[in-house]
Amino acid sequence: MMGAKTQSIDSWLKAHATHQPNHPAVHFEGHTWTYRAFSDWVEQVAVALQHSLGLKRGDRVAYYGKNCDTEVALFFACARLGLIIVPLNWRLVPAELNYILGDSGAKVLFHDDNFLDQVPAALDGLATLAVNTSDRLDALIDKSQGLAVATDADLSDPMFIVYTSGTTGRPKGAVLTQESILWNAIISVHAHDFTPADHILNMLPLFHVGGINIQMMPCFFIGGTMTLHPAFDADETIRALEYQGITTTVCVPTVMKALMFHPDWGDLKLPTLRLFNTGSTDVPVEIIEANHKRGIPMVQVYGATETGPIATYQKAHEARSTQGSIGRCGAHTQVKLMLADATEAPLGEPGEIWVKGPNNFSHYWNNPEATEAALVDGWFRTGDVAVQDENGLYWFADRVKHVIISGGENIYPAELERVLGRIPGIRECAVVGRAHPKWGEVPVAAVVITKNGPDRATILAAFTDKIARFKHPKDVVFLPALPRNTMGKVLASEVRKLVAAAPD
């Protein structure tokens, strides 16, 4: 591990401003920031935070808005001062934001005009100061002109409190230090073979560790260029990929599907793109295959908010030959698969993924009980199940809590969902367990179909000769849509309720 008193990560920008001052750092909505200009702006923002707002090392600063260059500048300015950033999911309702702001003890809430009307309710009962970045930030900078930053922030300082989506109970705030951000950047550079010549496209939300850390922070670490979009827009993404010199981007499956259904996708030219990155637990193989047919490697990254997030990954040269795998253990990280009796799973047998690495989170904010349950001697228990093969590759199976136990046999819904995903006319699918008097529970497919989509018999027949019969869904429930949380993840608990209420 690196020494605790190493420079804070805003030093990346200063180094690039010295060695490649005119190299583009950020493209956002028609404006280009060079490394010299962006580094200077970050310093001005840091001065304003310290002198105009009186913020001190360890104070929490929240951001509520769409992706923008100001948000990125705030990230680095906070690192400069040892402040802790709380990026807020703008899909949450004010009551949910109020809980996060209260739990984190945020001193200041920066927000944009998009959510101006929601701010009063989000701050109800709190002493948090609201600052509109559209006008007041410039005023704060002007107020502190001529002053300088005084700080002793370093890599040991917490940098982010990223709140998990909270599929059950209250969301938990995972604390990532500056050191974990640095190490994740180092690991990501190895995963993607990044160089300063790379130009990433980032349209993932910066309230999610995937949007922050899979490619964006590593891009600044290596001195590359980022084009940032306020949010995902299929038309804008298509144009950027074809005309703006993009070399790589992260596309979660829902984004990739939207692009593949775009009318321009079939004729799209990708002259500079060298790889797609994808993740978010289980990725449908048909998405990967479609991109490989275009000649673009699609590499999978596996991890969680608590792992920084990069834990395992494929390299571009292996993407085709290891299609469907979540790759190998990442550089500088350790992975092991554990059984319920706390022993390691034999090769080829499923086990829970435990991850240990310098990019792991340090703890859950204000939640020692959850921290103790999640960390065992520095190993993070992910709650995900995988299998490792004889070549050292990991293959995602499912979430531990999603496993269906039928007649004493474990059935992993993701395995069945891969079959469902290949049936023409199925738009969305999920497999959950339903109580059964003989077997304890049995798998049931919940599907959303297109107009003139497949019927029950066609769906059930699709499993013949593909997986063992005891794993086959015993019923199909047709739904208008799958229930999802604010991060777009399917809520298995709600699907189970819908399936249980449906007639046998």
| DSSP secondary structure of 222-240 | HT-EEEE-SS--HHHHHHH
Triad 409, 415, 421: Cα angle to 5°: 145
Which band of pLDDT confidence, cut at 50, 70 and 90, is reported for residue 165? low
pLDDT of residue 3: 43
Residue where one domain finishes, among candidates 124, 153, 182: 153
Distance (Å, rounded) from C-alpha 323 to C-alpha 321?
6
Residues spanned by the domain of 145: 19-153
Q: How many CB atoms lie within 10 A of CB 286?
A: 12
In a domain, 480, yes or no: yes
The CA distances from residue 451 to 281, 293, 476, 480, in Å, are 28, 28, 17, 11
In a domain, 382, yes or no: no
Which band of pLDDT confidence, cut at 50, 70 and 90, is reported for residue 485? confident
| CATH number for the domain harbouring residue 122 | 3.40.50.980
Contact yes or no for 343/244 (Cβ under 8 A): no
Q: How many CB atoms lie within 10 A of CB 151?
A: 18
| CATH number for the domain harbouring residue 476 | 3.30.300.30
Does position 109 have pLDDT exceeding 50, yes or no? yes
**Considering its fold, how many domains does the chain have in total?**
2
Residue where one domain finishes, among candidates 123, 153, 183: 153
In a domain, 139, yes or no: yes
In a domain, 159, yes or no: no
Q: What are 176's two structure tokens?
A: 């990532």
Question: pLDDT digits over 375-425, tens only?
Answer: 999 999 999 999 999 999 999 988 788 889 888 778 888 889 989 999 999
Question: pLDDT digits over 191-238, tens only?
Answer: 999 999 999 999 999 999 999 999 999 999 999 999 999 999 999 999
Residue where one domain finishes, among candidates 126, 153, 180: 153
In a domain, 370, yes or no: no
| Token pair 């990044």 in the structure block, residue | 194
Residue 291 Cα to chain centre, angstroms = 21
Q: Give the phi and the psi of residue 440 in degrees, each rounded to 5.
A: 90, -60
Least confident of 171-185, 218-232, 250-264: 250-264
Question: pLDDT digits over 330-388, tens only?
Answer: 999 999 999 989 999 999 999 999 999 999 999 999 999 999 999 999 999 999 999 99
In a domain, 211, yes or no: no
In a domain, 343, yes or no: no
Establish how many alpha carbons lie within 13 A of residue 53's alpha carbon, considering only the half-sphere containing its beta carbon.
31
What mean pLDDT is reported for the chain? Answer: 93
In a domain, 96, yes or no: yes
